[in-house]
């Protein structure tokens, strides 16, 4: 065993001893524990680098398991104060900064709600809300307005009162940054100190989500001057496409506040920022300061490879990273609870449809039959990689809410004979070497790429490559640095790629935007492009034409349906558009959704934190990202420190 692994094993022993020493005396319980040992060995393998075969050394890690009976005591002992330790990647200064509207902001993902909360958060199971900075709101369809009443008595950490002007400033800054919400809004006005009116260009059911949940509210002390400059441009008749607007946006992106002003129960301590960890300290002026049970929140920095040993060492109380199945087993062996909430999205196989025959729908259908999605999900993420069933581009969890006749959807159950039948019907043949050849005589051999640092997506890509190769379509996998990979896909520099399908949002509109706009920029010509001109400058992406002829729905315009889908407050009309779009997607398969990711989120239930609700509690219908149940349970005081 290497010195590093020996040190880790020693650390685990020390942690276990400390936990035993600190816990109150109680009756030991004999349980079966899976003891894990990590074994590393170096092997050589041949890889192709830029077309040249090279022999490289590779460290292979194996987790060996051995069940034994041990005595284990976990007692939920509340303790005043204490620390909640989370994990989320962030950039440190000077790359990282506190301008929350610009790239590389230190926003720390789900944990931003702890210091700059939105107006409210959403309970997915029953459609109710957890009011935060707002207490109530109402949509007036005739007036095309959303009126929001704000919580009174809220203070910023600098001592200022929280008022409606802060909300106006927030949305003006989002307007400057060309935020999507401004596709639906005309203006935002403060009626009084605690009332804000959002005037819509036309009523839309998604405005509530954009306004109430998606925007984190910032302060006028930090951002007020930029809001004033936006208003000055509007008064001059300038819009988002003007040179003056873009010049101001460039200046805004370079703005660097020295610290964060918070209304939430915690705030970032700038002095704590380093490559390894940052600390959120209690904001005693917050209206939630007496509700939350932790004095501090630690956020450990890093992606899956960095966070894994921290979880094994029980330094992290909760993490949302995608952990490989072997790692998850190691967590369970250490007594760590695994939570499995739906993510409402997952990886999909994307095609560059400028390459024949990927532009032929029957070929995409054949490949959907040729890939065992259940195997792919299991290999990639164990129990948390659940094969997509309905193949509509949005989560199986909500398809029956929007599509009445789900039996009419093709489920593309794994069937290689069916796949062969489709390809043969197109005039494709198999050569003597077992490799498929198109009707034009081209050998079907391709490269599949995925973000190298995403363990679950990389595993998915490797498995897809193996399955396609076994089917007779030789496919090689290449990992690409995670920031570069979407750029390559957007520029059309790929053959096959793993990118996301779906979105952690209750309305399918957002999923279709991800599926058909995000990596398909040059095909977008309507409202989405007007709201975000950058879409048209990123490159062709997958080059899927949004106006198609279908068997199910005749001549079908995806763009018109997606753009109109959220308009108005008539749910029945929206449901009809969603159902038609789902059927067209199911037939054409612009990409192949492989599996839906469910969390395999480690939680130190009873070890360092207590109060985690049982697995069948409705809170776990929430996406761990869009409306984080962990953050909501911190904010309402459900979670508390114990055994620390």
* Half-sphere exposure of residue 167: CA atoms within 13 angstroms, side-chain side: 29
Which residues are bridge partners to 59 per DSSP? 42
Nearest partner of 375 among 419, 417, 414, judged by Cα: 414
Query: Can you give the pLDDT at residue 536?
Result: 59
Nearest partner of 216 among 121, 85, 95, 320, judged by Cα: 121
The full DSSP string for 578-602 is HHHHHHHHHHH-SEEE-EEEB--EE
Residue 45's SS3 state is strand
- pTM listed for this prediction: 0.76
Residue carrying the six token digits 């949005």: 394
Q: Is 159 left (phi over 0), alpha (psi -120 to 50) or beta?
A: left
Q: How far is CA 554 from CA 238, 547, 550, 558, in A?
A: 41, 11, 5, 12
For the beta carbon of residue 613, count every other beta carbon within 10 angstroms: 15
Q: Which domains does the chain have, with CATH numbers?
A: 3-72 (no CATH), 116-253 (3.90.76.10), 353-597 (3.10.105.10)
Query: Can you give the pLDDT at residue 234?
Result: 97
Residue carrying the six token digits 């480690």: 602
Q: Round to whole Å and give the CA distance between 207 and 183.
A: 10
What is residue 46's DSSP assignment? Answer: E
Please give the structure tokens belonging to residue 74. 């976990």
* Residues of the chain below pLDDT 70: 1-80, 526-537
Contact between 587 and 361 under an 8 Å Cβ cutoff? The reply is: yes
Give the helix, strand, coil percentages of the chain, each rounded to 5.
35, 25, 40
Helix count (H) and strand count (E) of the chain? 18, 27
For the beta carbon of residue 443, count every other beta carbon within 10 angstroms: 13
Query: Can you give the pLDDT at residue 641?
Result: 96
Nearest partner of 454 among 499, 519, 490, judged by Cα: 499
Buried b (16+ CB within 10 A) or exposed e, 391-420: bbbbbbbbbeebbeebeebeebebebebbb
Contact between 486 and 452 under an 8 Å Cβ cutoff? The reply is: no
Query: Can you give the pLDDT at residue 523?
Result: 81
Which residues are bridge partners to 337 per DSSP? 603
Q: Round to whole Å and give the CA distance between 624 and 604.
A: 16
SS3 for 478-515 is EEECCCHHHHHHHCCCCCEEEEEEECCCCCHHHHHHHH
Helices 325-333 & 373-381, crossing angle to 10 degrees?
50
Is the previous residue joined to 569 through a cis bond, with omega within 30 degrees of 0? no
For the beta carbon of residue 425, count every other beta carbon within 10 angstroms: 10
């Amino acid at each position: 065993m290497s010195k590093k692994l020996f040190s880790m094993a020693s650390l685990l022993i020390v942690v276990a001893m400390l936990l035993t020493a600190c816990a109150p005396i109680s009756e030991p319980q004999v349980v079966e524990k899976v003891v894990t040992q990590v074994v590393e060995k170096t092997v050589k393998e041949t890889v192709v680098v830029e077309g040249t075969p090279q022999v490289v050394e590779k460290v292979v890690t194996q987790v060996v398991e051995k069940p034994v009976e041990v005595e284990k005591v976990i007692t939920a002992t509340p303790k005043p104060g204490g620390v909640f330790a989370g994990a989320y990647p962030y950039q440190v200064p000077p790359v990282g900064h506190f301008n929350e509207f610009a790239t590389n902001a230190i926003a720390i993902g789900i944990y931003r709600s702890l210091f700059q909360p939105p107006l409210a958060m959403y309970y997915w199971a029953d459609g109710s809300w957890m009011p935060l900075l707002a207490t109530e709101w109402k949509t007036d369809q005739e007036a095309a307005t959303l009126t929001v009443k704000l919580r009174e008595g809220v203070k910023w950490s600098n001592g200022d009162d929280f008022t409606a002007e802060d909300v106006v400033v927030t949305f003006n800054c989002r307007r400057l940054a060309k935020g999507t919400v401004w596709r639906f809004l005309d203006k935002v006005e403060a009626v009084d100190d605690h009332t804000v009116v959002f005037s819509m260009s036309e009523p839309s059911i998604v405005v509530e989500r954009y306004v109430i949940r998606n925007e984190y509210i910032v302060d006028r002390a930090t951002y007020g001057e930029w809001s004033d400059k936006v208003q000055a441009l509007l008064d001059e008749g300038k819009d988002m496409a003007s040179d003056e607007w873009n010049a101001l946006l460039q200046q805004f992106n370079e703005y660097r506040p020295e610290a964060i002003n918070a209304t939430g129960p915690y705030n970032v301590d700038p002095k704590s920022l380093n490559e390894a960890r940052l600390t959120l300290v209690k904001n005693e002026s917050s209206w939630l300061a007496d509700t939350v049970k932790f004095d501090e929140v630690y956020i450990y920095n890093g992606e899956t490879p960095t966070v894994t040993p921290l979880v094994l060492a029980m330094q992290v109380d909760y993490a949302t990273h995608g952990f490989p199945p072997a790692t998850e087993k190691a967590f369970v062996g250490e007594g760590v609870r695994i939570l499995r909430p739906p993510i409402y999205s997952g990886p999909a196989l994307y095609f560059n449809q400028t390459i024949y025959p990927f532009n032929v729908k029957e070929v995409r259908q054949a490949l959907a039959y040729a890939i065992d999605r259940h195997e792919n999900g299991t290999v990639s993420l164990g129990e948390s990689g659940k094969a997509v069933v309905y193949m509509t581009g949005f989560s199986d969890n909500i398809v029956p809410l929007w599509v009445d006749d789900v039996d009419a959807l093709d489920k593309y159950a794994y069937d290689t004979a069916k796949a062969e039948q489709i390809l043969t019907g197109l005039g494709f043949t198999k050569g003597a070497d077992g490799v498929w050849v198109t009707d034009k005589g081209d050998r079907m051999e391709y490269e599949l790429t995925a973000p190298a640092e995403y363990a679950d997506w990389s595993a998915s890509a490797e498995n897809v490559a193996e399955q396609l190769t076994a089917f007779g379509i030789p496919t090689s996998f290449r990992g690409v640095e995670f920031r570069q990979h979407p750029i390559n896909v957007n520029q059309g520099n790929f053959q096959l790629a793993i990118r996301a399908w779906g979105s952690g949002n209750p309305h399918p509109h957002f999923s279709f935007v991800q599926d058909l706009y995000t990596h398909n920029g040059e095909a977008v010509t309507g409202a989405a492009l007007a709201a975000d001109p950058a879409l048209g400058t990123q490159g062709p992406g997958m080059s899927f034409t949004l106006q198609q002829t279908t068997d199910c729905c005749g001549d079908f315009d995806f763009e018109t349906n997606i753009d109109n889908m959220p308009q108005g407050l008539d749910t029945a009309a929206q449901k009809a558009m969603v159902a038609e779009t789902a059927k067209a997607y199911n037939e054409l398969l612009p990409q192949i959704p492989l599996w839906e990711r469910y969390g395999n989120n480690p939680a130190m239930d009873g070890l360092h934190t207590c109060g985690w609700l049982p697995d069948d509690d409705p809170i776990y219908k929430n996406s761990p990202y869009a409306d984080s149940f962990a953050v909501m349970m911190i904010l309402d005081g459900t979670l508390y420190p114990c055994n620390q």
